[in-house]
Structure 1
Amino acid sequence: MYGALWRVLPGPIWLRIIILIVLVAAVLYCLVTWVFPWVDSLLQTNEEGTVGA
């Protein structure tokens, strides 16, 4: 799969690396902005937990 993705990207190697860095940054941004908060709202967490006596 990664080999197929690498072959589909246009340009020389340095341009492919830049494109991949931008794509990874965009995916991480989407995860942190929308996916992780949505999943956190679905999980039931105990926010009154304490450590100690």
Structure 2
Amino acid sequence: MYAWIWRRLPGAWPAKTAAAAGIVIAVAAVLWYALFPQLEAKIQFDHGVVQTPAPSATPGG
């Protein structure tokens, strides 16, 4: 799949590398700002996790 994408990108390898990096950044931004916030509302990843308070740093406390 990646070889197919690489062959379809225009230009020499520096231009292909820049275009591929831009595509990866764009996909990551869409996932981070659009998809993941919608999923977080439906799937509670922290549901059922019990957090215990940290032990006191003072001696005898």
Smaller-chain TM-score range?
0.7 to 0.9
Which runs of structure 1 show a deviation greater than 4 angstroms over 4 or more consecutive aligned residues?
none
- Structure 1's unaligned 5+ residue stretches are none
Determine what percentage of the aligned residue pairs are the same residue.
27
TM superposition score normalised by structure 2: 0.73
- Structure 2's unaligned 5+ residue stretches are 54-61
CA RMSD between the two structures:
2.0
Radius of gyration: which is bigger? 2
TM superposition score normalised by structure 1: 0.82
| Number of matched pairs | 52
Higher helix fraction: Structure 1 or Structure 2?
1
